[in-house]
Chains A and B, each alone.
Chain A
Amino acid sequence: MAKVKMSKKATAIDMTAMCDVAFLLLTFFILTATAKQPEPLPVETPSSTVQVKLPDTDLAIITIGDSGKVFFGVKAPEVRLRTLEAIADEYKISFTEEEKKRFSLMEEFGVPVNQLRTLINLSAAERNQKGLQVGIPHDSLNNQLEKWVKAARNANAEVNEKQLNFAIKGDAKEQYPEIKKIMDILQEQKVNKFNLVTGLRSDNF
Chain B
Amino acid sequence: MAQLDTGDSGGGKKGGKVRSKKQNSSVDLTAMVDLAFLLITFFMLTTSLSKPQSMDLGMPDKDDKNPQEIKIAQERTMNILIGPDNKVKTYMGQLDSPVEPLKDNKYGREGIRKDIQQKMVSVPQLMGDPKKGLIVLIKAHKESTYKNLVDVLDEMAISKVPVYAIVDITKEETALFDN
User: Chain A residues in contact with chain B, CB under 8 A?
Assistant: 11-12, 14-16, 18-19, 22-23, 25-26, 29-30, 32-34, 36, 45-54, 64, 167, 169-180, 183, 187-188, 190, 192-200, 203-205
Contact = CB atoms under 8 A, between A and B. Distances in A.
User: 8 closest Cβ contacts across the A-B interface?
Assistant: A15-B29, A29-B43, A22-B36, A172-B147, A195-B54, A46-B147, A46-B150, A48-B154
Interface in B20-72: 26, 28-30, 32-33, 36-37, 39-40, 43-44, 46-47, 50-62
Nearest to B151: A46
A113 B46 CA distance: 36
Interface string B105-125: 001110000000000000000
A154 to B, nearest CB: 20
B2 A26 contact: no
Contacts of A46: 146-147, 150-151
A200 to B, nearest CB: 5
B165 interface: no
Nearest to A179: B146
B109 A204 contact: yes
Contacts of B56: 50, 52, 193, 195
A50 B132 CA distance: 25
Chain B binding surface, main DSSP class: mixed
20 contacts: A12-B3, A15-B29, A15-B30, A16-B29, A22-B36, A25-B36, A29-B44, A29-B47, A45-B52, A46-B147, A47-B150, A50-B56, A52-B56, A171-B146, A172-B146, A176-B145, A196-B150, A198-B55, A203-B109, A204-B109
A50 B49 CA distance: 14
B80 interface: no
Q: Which of B43, B60, B157 has the most CB of A within 10 A?
A: B43
Contacts, number: 155
Contacts of A197: 52-54
Nearest to A32: B47
B175 interface: no
Contact of A176 (B33, B43, B61, B149): B149
Contacts of B36: 19, 22-23, 25-26
Q: Which of B141, B146, B147 has the most CB of A within 10 A?
A: B146
Contact of B145 (A48, A53, A174): A174
B53 A199 contact: yes
Given A46-B146, A196-B153, A205-B108, A19 B33 contact: yes
A12 B26 contact: yes
A167 B51 CA distance: 13
Contacts of A50: 53-56, 154, 157
A175 B146 CA distance: 6
Nearest to A196: B55
B109 A172 contact: no
Given A18-B29, A22-B37, A192-B61, A179 B149 contact: yes
A48 B53 contact: yes
A186 to B, nearest CB: 8
A168 to B, nearest CB: 8
B135 interface: no
Contacts of A174: 145-146
